[in-house]
Structure 1
Amino acid sequence: MITATHFYNYTRCPRKVYLDFFGDAEKKLPHSEFMLSRFRIGREHEKDVAKNIKYVAPEKTAKDEEKFRQTVKFMEQGASIIFQGVLIDKDFIGRPDILIKVPGQSRLGDYHYEAIDIKVAVHAKKQYIMQIMFYSSMLQKIQEKMPEFTYLILNNKSKKLHTYDYMNQYAEALVEIKNIASGCEAEVHICSECGECPWRDVCLEKAEKEKDISLIYNLGRKSKELLIENNIDNFEKAADMDVDLLKNIKGLGEASLRRWKTQSRALIDKKTIKIGNPNLPKAKTEIYFDIEGEPDIDIEYLFGLWTEGEYIYFLAKSPEEEKKAWKGFIDFFKDKEDFKIYHYAPYEKNALKKLRKKYGCDEETYRKITNNMIDLFSVVKKTAVLPLYSYSIKDIAKHLGFEWSEKDASGGQSTIWFTRWLAEKDPALIDTILQYNKDDVLATEKVKEWLQDLE
């Protein structure tokens, strides 16, 4: 059966759809605590939305076929709102969160239904839109009218979408998913989406065996397709590719080609290749900085600093305390002079910009902080090419010998600990969050020291 989940997964990774249909289930990893928590939060959000509306719903214990019959009966009776109904059409099955009755002639009478999906999210992402289009398409079959509109209920707003704006995208996805379901194998592509995928080990094993060019860091799907069209279908070939010959192909820039070529050589030789100097500035005080945030509830809950052998932090134990933590962080720098703040990737600088807009900050202190921030991710990329598939702080620091206290620690896991803290108020969770953040800033120091050794 084809479901809305297949459309969600196809938008992110067609290979996952193929493996869900044909993969060896014994090789599929269990979902991480992070993903299980996301699922649970999603279900709770649906219940929170539903408790404020009056609706009818199929019996929870009924099988899908019976739920479908009950859903159609509700539709034929003209129920105003149907919660968690089931739609079935041949090999398709959909479970929209809400079906809402609206005016407009259909097989049912002078009314028809539009679909609403509830998401724990800030933006109407493509994968959500494809899911809701799937439900709308199924409604068309049942009521003999395509809904003109469909809706997403997000964290703090609802998004109204015109179905006809997305018909072409949906039709293309449907054709591809049908092809995959009939046995057409989707290619492996290793990327950032793989981290939480239960099929990641299966794909990585295949990619490494084939020396797949998606293992080349920062090589996207479209670039991969262009290289394959030009007979560069593994990273051994990429290591020897003729950049001057390929650079004139639209979509393949010279700088990217040279970087991919060098990256391929690093993977083959399993060695770091130096390509420049880090040129790190001198300062009396070095500060290593990392923020922990939970975007789903729009909070930056921890500002962690490591400086002169001391871990300093400003913690918001609830969304209401975020402003206090922000003020503490800003005040820490008011009397600081001759310092540099090292962080990894753009998140910290973007978060400070957002928080300044949200809570305010005097111009002088804000500029003193941001003008002295150095993104080590940018420095790494201009200094060295590493024999790694990813340049995340976790991968690079571990490559350099650093270990986190928690084996499966990650930014996502930190948000789970924080969400649990909000519900359980267990002090041990705060201790775990702080230790993880401390490890992050120590890892940042490790990367900076390694870069300094390359001077």
Structure 2
Amino acid sequence: MLLTVEMLRHYQRCSRRAFLDVYGDPIGQDFQNDFRAKLQQDRYALQQTILAGRTYDKPNFPYGDWDAGANATKVLMQQGVELIYRGVLLADFGEAQEYFVETTAETNYQLPPGISLISRPDLLVKQPGQSIFGDWIYVPVDIHLGKRPKQEYQVVAAYHALLLATMQGVLPSQAWLMLRRPNPHYTVNLSKCLPQMQSVCLECIEMLLQEQEPEVFISRHRCNLCPWLNECYGVAKSQQHISLLAGVTPSRYQYLRSLGLTSVELLADADFTELEPVLGEEAAQLLICQAQCAIANQAMPLTSSTQQFTIPKDLLASPIELYFDIEAEPGLDLDYLLGVLVVDRQAKTETFHPFVAEQPASEGLIWQQFLDLVTAYPQAPIFHFCDYEVLTVKRLAKCYNTPREVRETILSRFVDTHLWITTTVTMPVESYALKPIAHWLGFEWRDPGANGQLSIYWYDQWLKTGDRTFLDTIIRYNEDDCRATHHLKDWLVNFLQDL
């Protein structure tokens, strides 16, 4: 068995993914995720940016011949070169175990022979110190697109350090992460991360050796970029797995399992006082109500909220309504499309205005175009979904020196339809994101597979190719988001008025 960095990283996020990477049928994978490919390209581009102007060496070996790669890397280390790009660190588990820190019970864990560990840190940087090569050592460095030193990054960095110790005869005192910003250089605390890495490493190996397929669990945040998502989702649907219920997080699921509440039916019949001690009264009632909605396949009012919630009369009386949605590239701090649907209820017209930054430098221009439009309708409420639009208006106003009174006047007109939904009604949906809600209400996007991640990919392709088709697809998707928000708002108003 060969334990790779990818397996270790995937195991931390989802043990099932690590298992499927080894034992799953490749036919079940989705290899065509354009956004995932873009992330890989962006990470490579960031590596090249960091390496630009630096002299470095890279081991030369036939791809897949990891023994040759490790030997070539070791030769470079013996020569004392300053920087090694994508070196190969390879060790037998027994060799690596000699450098396990004595802080966990697992250090004496016995595994069968034939297990090898491999990693390929982005960089190995020469530093002063004592190793088997002389008065220098190497320190592993990984380059990531993320802005935060995630725990999975640090565990992998500790894995590099462990394997590096088997090559140079000494554990490095530190490992580094190079992130995008705002703090691009991060020093990993190996004394803290090595024990964590050891536990993760041993757990992953044991799970793979047992060949016992882990239980499926659908987590939107963790699963979205996984190539096994469709495979796992199919399994979850066939099992009517409770993780498909909105609000069932991994930690909540473990608690529900401990109570034997492993199906939607059992949860729907549960007594909320049984869940209250850990989840709290509100969360317990919401989960039970969510299960009841799923069984009945109908929306239900949240009694405590609807008793307090009233729709402002001026919102219902306004002849003009604006629906606002944004397409953005967080990695570039760029909002490249500000879309506004103007609904004139008296004239019975709907007009969509897409303000598009055809080049990143045009963001300021589309911001001004947006301001001109919304100030032309000073009394119109501005409906949006979630708080991203609020945060974006604050960011753009600050970035382009918009007067505070202009910003505050616009924000005072904002109405968050997601907040309306989640505080007034329970719906039989797997997630309270816009798409699942709108789909249940019967709204369909013209491009069924379109999503925010693909929008980022399409914009990147537009910048690279100049093919207008990509830009037109983004505009169509953004307009549909605005229209979905409109559809949702009208449904919610009618639903609440009928109570």
Taking structure 2 as the reference length, the TM-score comes to: 0.86
CA distance in 2, matches of 1:363, 1:48: 38
The partner residue of 1:171 within 192, 198, 204 is: 198
Query: Which of structures 1 and 2 has the bigger CA Rg?
Result: 2
* CA shift for structure 1 position 162: 2.7
Q: Deviations over 1:19-64 (max 9, x none)?
A: 2122222222324111122222222332333232101111264432
Change in 2 beyond 3 A, CA 1:319/1:126: farther
1:236 aligned residue (261, 265, 268): 265
Distance between the aligned counterparts of 2:40 and 2:269, measured in 1?
Answer: 45
Match of 1:280 in 2: 311
- The match for 2:142 is 117
Task: Answer whether contact 2:384 2:417 (CA < 8 A) is retained.
Answer: yes
User: SS in structure 1 opposite 2:224?
Assistant: helix
Q: Is the 8 A contact 1:116 1:150 kept in 2?
A: yes
* 1:260 correspondence with 2:287: yes
Are the counterparts in 1 of residues 159 and 194 from structure 2 also a CA contact under 8 Å? Answer: no
Give the aligned partner of residue 77 of structure 1: 79
- Write out aligned runs for 1:330-341 (5 A): 330-341=371-382
RMSD value over aligned CA atoms?
Answer: 1.9
Q: How does 1:293-304 map to 2 (within 5 A)?
A: 293-304=328-339
**Structure 1 residues 197 and 4: alpha-carbon distance in aligned structure 2, compared to 1, 3 A threshold:** same
Is it true that 1:414 corresponds to 2:416 in the alignment?
no
Q: 1:31 to 1:6 in 2, by over 3 A?
A: farther
Equivalent residue pairs, number: 453
Instruction: Measure how far apart 1:349 and its partner are.
Output: 1.3
Aligned to 1:404, the other structure's residue is in SS state: coil
Change (3 A) 1:338 1:155: same
**Distance in 2 (alpha carbons) for counterparts of 1:353 and 1:60:** 52
Higher alpha-carbon deviation: 386-395 or 437-446: 386-395
For 1:165, the aligned partner's letter is: K
Measured after TM superposition, the shift of residue 274 of structure 1 is 2.8
After TM superposition, list the pairs within 5 Å mapping 1:33-432 onto structure 2. 33-59=34-60, 61-62=62-63, 63-90=65-92, 91-156=116-181, 157-183=184-210, 184-192=212-220, 193-249=222-278, 252-276=279-303, 277=306, 279-281=310-312, 282=315, 283-308=318-343, 309-432=350-473
One-letter amino acid matched to 2:423: K
Most deviating of 267-276 and 137-146: 267-276
Matched letter for residue 341 of structure 2: W
CA–CA distance in structure 1, aligned partners of residues 475 and 200 of structure 2: 43
In 2, Cα distance between equivalents of 1:442 and 1:206: 32
2:245–2:291 CA contact under 8 A, matched in 1 = yes
Secondary structure, aligned partner of 2:364: helix
Which segment is superposed worse, 79-88 or 17-26? 17-26
| Structure 1 equivalent of residue 106 of structure 2 | none
For residue 247 of structure 1, give the secondary structure of its aligned residue in structure 2: helix
SS at match of 1:305: strand
Q: 1:240 to 1:408 in 2, by over 3 A?
A: same
Report the Cα offset of residue 335 of structure 1: 4.5
Please tell me whether the aligned partners of residues 345 and 375 of structure 1 are also in contact (alpha carbons under 8 angstroms): yes
Alignment-mate amino acid for residue 218 of structure 2: I
> 2-side partners of 1:65 and 1:323: how far apart?
53
Contact persistence 1:210–1:234 (CA under 8 A): no
Cα–Cα, structure 1 residues 67 and 137, in superposed 2: closer, same or farther, change >3 Å? same
Contact 2:56–2:85 at 8 Å: present in 1 too? yes
TM-score (norm 1): 0.94
Amino acid aligned to 1:6: M
Partners of 1:395 and 1:147 in 2: CA distance: 48
SS at match of 1:414: helix
Q: Distance in 2 between matches of 1:398 and 1:211?
A: 19
Deviation string 1:271-314 (CA, Å, 9 cap, x unpaired) is 22232547433234211110110011221111110012111132
Could you tell me which runs of 5 or more consecutive residues in structure 2 were left unpaired when the two chains were aligned: 93-115, 344-349
Partner of 2:100: none
**Structure 2 SS opposite 1:248:** helix
One-letter amino acid of the counterpart of residue 96, structure 1: P
The farther-off stretch of 435-444 and 383-392 is 383-392
List, as ranges, runs of 4+ consecutive aligned residues in structure 1 with deviation greater than 6 Å. none
Q: Is the partner of 2:261 in helix, strand or coil?
A: coil
Do the aligned partners of 2:240 and 2:263 also contact (CA within 8 Å) in 1? yes
- State the alpha-carbon separation in 2 of the partners of residues 49 and 213 from structure 1: 45
121 and 336 in structure 1: CA distance in 2 versus 1, 3 angstrom threshold: same
